[in-house]
């Protein structure tokens, strides 16, 4: 079960914009991430590479914590709002719930739930 301090440190890392650092410091080596019902991406190194690719596709990305994380044992739910600013065109906003399973103080599994229509808008 993650400590409240560890969860808060994770949230602060993400909201500071250090998305790669969050993965490097808070995920297990074999961690997985999954978008809605898509197949999971597995392995911290691959997750870092994926995140760098996403970041490179935008001029800027900002993260905001919408509500305090909900914690139930080894599971944490976080409601995020992300603002994606492309090099050209309008900003996009995505709200998602990240459902995480922690092993001690590290995230082992994470699944994102969001309305895909937000991306197409």
The DSSP call for residue 25 is H
d(CA 65, CA 32): 22
Burial of 66 from C-beta contacts in 10 A (0-12 / 13-18 / 19+): exposed
C-alpha span between 15 and 48 (Å, rounded): 17
Domain span holding position 78? 4-120
pLDDT digits (tens, 9 = 90+) for 26-62: 999 999 999 998 999 999 999 999 999 999 999 999 9
* Model pLDDT for residues 52-71, shown as the tens digit of each residue: 999 999 999 999 999 999 99
Find the CATH number of the domain harbouring 93.
Answer: 3.10.450.50
> How many domains in the chain?
1
Q: For position 121, what pLDDT does the model report? A: 55
């Amino acid at each position: 079960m993650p400590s409240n301090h560890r969860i808060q440190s994770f949230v602060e890392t993400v909201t500071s914009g250090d998305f790669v650092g969050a993965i490097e410091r808070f995920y297990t080596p074999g961690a997985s991430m999954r978008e809605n019902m898509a197949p999971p991406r597995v392995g911290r190194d691959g997750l870092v590479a994926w995140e760098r690719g996403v970041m490179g596709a935008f001029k800027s990305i900002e993260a905001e914590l919408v509500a305090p994380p909900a914690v139930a044992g080894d599971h944490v739910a976080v409601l995020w709002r992300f603002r994606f600013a492309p090099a050209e065109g309008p900003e996009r906003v995505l709200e998602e719930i990240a459902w995480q399973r922690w092993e001690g103080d590290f995230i082992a599994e994470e699944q994102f739930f969001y309305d895909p229509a937000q991306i197409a808008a």
